[in-house]
Amino acid sequence: MTLTRSEREPADAEQVRRSVELDGAPAEVWDALTEESLLAEWLADEVEIETEPGGAIVCRYADGEERRGEVELVEEAERLAWSWRREGGGPSRVELVLDAVAERTRLTVVESAPLRPAGPLLLASAAGPRLRRGSGPALAAPAGGGASPAPAWAPRLARLQAVVRLVLA
């Protein structure tokens, strides 16, 4: 499968892309991306998701942060996408793309947000300290410096690798 820009994603968006290889075929990995209990092991402390276009997604974090959004795309064992936002923050779109690689799966996470005239639109403009604590995936560092871009996806993907290993064991 080729990763292509969605027609719903603007060409002038700030974008972060991360990939990880997971043990197991895409159909086996799919559960860790769509089952609430498994999502709660790596994406957020508590996750509610309706895995159908137009379905709701709600992610709650231990620090009290909450993100709400809508599922946009579901292609079983291939792609899952949603748009979400923090309270008081701008929107972003997350797309998970699964590609079979030998007997494994490459998961590519693409998070994008529209650009503002003054710079990238952050998921939460007032969440600078939270970005460093890694409360949730985020596109960019706070204006004027701070954390490096997308600091939160790397640890989450590492936890996802562990979850997939447990599910397949």
pLDDT per residue as tens digits for the range 43-95: 999 999 999 999 999 999 999 999 999 999 999 999 999 999 988 888 999 99
Tokens of 11: 């060409």
pTM of the model: 0.72
Residue 147 pLDDT exceeds 90: no
Kindly report the CATH number assigned to the domain that includes residue 28.
3.30.530.20
Mean pLDDT score of the chain: 77
- Length of the chain equals 169
Contact indicator for 114, 11 with CB cutoff of 8 Å: no
Query: Tell me, what's the pLDDT at 36?
Result: 95
Number of domains composing the chain: 1
Please check whether residue 1 lies inside any domain of the structure. no
- The residue with greater pLDDT, 141 or 150, is 150
Return left, alpha or beta for 89; rule: phi > 0 is left, psi -120 to 50 is alpha, else beta.
beta
In a domain, 139, yes or no: no
SS3 (DSSP) at 48: strand
Q: Does residue 148 carry a pLDDT above 80? A: no
Range of the structural domain that residue 44 is part of: 13-124+147-168
* Least confidently predicted of 33-37, 40-44, 151-155: 151-155
Whether the pLDDT of residue 123 is over 50: the answer is no
